[in-house]
Structure 1
Amino acid sequence: MKKLESREDIELLVNSFYGKVIKDEEIGLFFNEIARVDWAKHLPKMYAFWESVLFGQMSYKGNPMGAHFPINEIRAMEQKHFDRWLKLWTATVEEHFAGEDADQAIYKAENIAKLMAFKMDLARRL
């Protein structure tokens, strides 16, 4: 199994992951129907995001939390949706990579999913 160690590895991971997401019956609708994601714009942002998170490249410029609040107003993004996101992410990482950075990719995604689920729930309550 290959180590997760380069921008090219992140691109493979992100592309493989979103290939699953867009087909997923539980969370695909958030991307396909609600956000109507422009993949040509979204994927490079996600490469930069994960490159920043995992390798400290600081190439990501944006507000991931802020991008999700408008979607949450249209359709509630619940814990089960973040659990599914995390399950797909973990499976994708494990299919392609092993090692410390692969473990970190899963660990950091777990933290992101927890924080996003908490903040989306909080926003619905306010």
Structure 2
Amino acid sequence: MKKLESREDIEHLVNSFYAKVTKDETIGLFFTDIAKVEWNKHLPKMYAFWESILFGQMTYKGNPMGAHFPINEMQAMEQKHFDRWLELWKATIEENFAGENADIAIYKAENIARLMAFKMDLARRL
């Protein structure tokens, strides 16, 4: 199994992941119907985000939490949605990569999913 070690690997991972996400019955609607994601803009941001997290490149500029609050206002982003996001992320990594960076990508995603679920729930309660 290939190691996750380059920008090209991240691009493959992110592209493979979002190919699953857009077809997913649980979370696909957030991307296709609610946020109406412009993939030509979103994907490069995600490449930079994961490159920053995994390789410390600091190529990502943005506020991922802030980007999700307006979506959460239109349609509640619940724990089950973050669980599914994480399930698809893990599956995509495990199908394509192994090694320390693959493990770190899963660990970081678990933390992101936990924090996002908490903050989206909190925002709905306020």
Q: CA deviation at 1:8?
A: 0.2
Measured against aligned partners, the alpha-carbon deviations of 1:13-68 in whole angstroms (never above 9, x if no partner) come to 00000000000000000000000000000000000000001100000000000000
Residue 57 of structure 2 is aligned to residue 57 of structure 1: yes
Take 2:32 and 2:71, find their aligned partners in 1: how far apart are those partners? 12
Q: Structure 2, unaligned stretches of length 5 or more?
A: none
In structure 2, the residue matched to 1:31 is: 31
Take 2:20 and 2:55, find their aligned partners in 1: how far apart are those partners? 24
| TM-score, normalised by the number of residues in structure 1 | 1.00
In structure 2, the residue matched to 1:74 is: 74
Q: Structure 1 runs of 4+ off > 3 angstroms?
A: none
Q: Structure 1, unaligned stretches of length 5 or more?
A: none
Supply the RMSD in Å over aligned alpha carbons. 0.2
Take 1:90 and 1:75, find their aligned partners in 2: how far apart are those partners? 24
Amino acid at match of 1:103: D
Say which SS state the counterpart of residue 24 (structure 1) adopts: coil
The share of aligned pairs that are identical, in percent, is: 84
Measured against aligned partners, the alpha-carbon deviations of 1:59-85 in whole angstroms (never above 9, x if no partner) come to 000000000000000000000000000
Matches within 5 A, 1:1-126: 1-126=1-126
Amino acid at match of 1:28: G
| TM-score, normalised by the number of residues in structure 2 | 1.00
Q: CA deviation at 1:86?
A: 0.0
Amino acid at match of 2:112: I
